[in-house]
Amino acid sequence: MLRTRRVSRGLTLMELLIVLTILVAVAGIMVSVFPSFLTKSHTATCAANIPEIAKSIQMFETQYMRYPNGMDNLAVGGSIFGSLAADHHLTTHALTAETAAALSAAGINSMATLTDSGSGDWHPTFFPYGNSKETPPSTASVAEGTDVAMIDMAGGGAANAAGLGLDVDPDIVYAVFGLGTACELFGKLAMEPPVHFSDSMDDNPNDYYMRFAAVFQLTDGDGDPLPKAKFVGVGALHSGGLEGVGDHTEAWWADHAAAQE
């Protein structure tokens, strides 16, 4: 019986050049599309995280009849935490006896203290509390004279407040607290605190504090302290200030429309 042998041959030089040309073209397309895809992915993830965090805070209040302690105090040494991204549109508010009482009435009696820089285990996002994770984060009591961060309504923060769906009356004090690992919310009703990855590669967790933040209203439109601080929302902290779900949804659609052009 006659057997036929199959002769296998490799690609000719011309075929190899054609394959390489196709791969280079595909790579060129992917390089141009990937940044847009990454941006939209980060935007969508952030937009999904914000309502989930807000829901967890509300569930905590329902279960424990108070809001969580241990949120990060973004005011450090009389100014805003130095590791926040630029143009954060926050300023400091020295608690009065009345605004401190409003926070205490909501069950917020202590905050985690941040340090502007450090060594060892210090990290602007993952451990901004000191040099060693073996040492529990220091805390500051909510009391008259304690500085906390607030939305700077006169310094660009009004647009951020509007994006969060808040009243932009300049007499209203909105206190802003970071949601880091020291917050007792995490471990009780939520897992690890999420990190906000900005659309811009210039804003990354290794260089800036990229956590989400909880916002509490301390005064009314007349500037009078509320009897109890009111939880009004969650935003993402990054360059340009706090942004809410609406801001990120709008950004997603803008990126989507640009990708279609």
What's at 228, amino acid-wise?
K
Confidence bin at 75 (pLDDT 50/70/90)? very high
Q: What is the mean pLDDT of residues 20-35?
A: 60
Q: Any idea which of 126-130, 191-195, 243-247, 250-254 has the lowest mean pLDDT?
A: 250-254
> How many Å apart are CA 87 and CA 90, to the nearest integer?
8
pLDDT for the residue numbered 255:
47
Count of domains forming the chain: 1
Task: Please report the pLDDT score of residue 62 as a whole number.
Answer: 95
Residue 159's domain comprises: 53-247
Q: Is residue 131 part of a domain?
A: yes
Which pLDDT tens digit goes with each residue over 192-213?
898 887 666 667 888 899 999 9
* Burial (Cβ within 10 Å: 0-12, 13-18, ≥19) of residue 219: buried
Residue keyed to tokens 């508010």: 93
pLDDT at 28: 59
Q: What percent of the chain has pLDDT over 70?
A: 78
Exposure letters 70-83 (e unless 16+ CB within 10 A, then b): bbbbbbbeeebbeb
pLDDT at 228: 97
pTM exceeds 0.85: no
Three-state SS sequence of the chain: CCCCCCCCCCCCHHHHHHHHHHHHHHHHHHHHHHHHHHHHHHHHHHHHHHHHHHHHHHHHHHHHCCCCCCEEECEECCEECCCCCCCCCEEEEECCHHHHHHHHHCCCCEEEECCCCCCCCCECCCECCCCCCCCCCCEEECCCCCEEEEECHHHHHHHHHHHCCCCCCCCCCEEEEECCCCCCCECCCECCCCECCCCCCCCCCCCCCCEEEEEEEEECCCCCEEEEEEEEEEEEEECCEEECHHHHHHHHHHHHHHHHC
| pLDDT over threshold 70, residue 237 | yes
pLDDT of residue 227: 97
Q: Is 191 exposed, middle or buried (0-12, 13-18, 19+ CB in 10 A)?
A: exposed
Q: Does residue 235 contact residue 213 with C-beta atoms inside 8 Å?
A: yes
- CA distances, 130 to each of 31, 53, 180 (Å): 40, 25, 13
User: What pLDDT, on the 0 to 100 scale, is given for residue 55?
Assistant: 93
pLDDT of residue 39: 52
- The pair of structure tokens assigned to 150 is 């607030």
pLDDT, tens digit, for every residue of 130-163? 999 999 999 999 999 999 999 999 888 998 999 8
Residue 68 located in a structural domain: yes
In-domain check, residue 24: no
Q: What is the mean pLDDT of the chain?
A: 83
The answer to the question of residue 22 being in a domain is no
Predicted local distance difference test score (pLDDT) of residue 132: 93
**Is residue 43 domain-resident?**
no
Task: Say what the pLDDT of residue 249 is.
Answer: 45
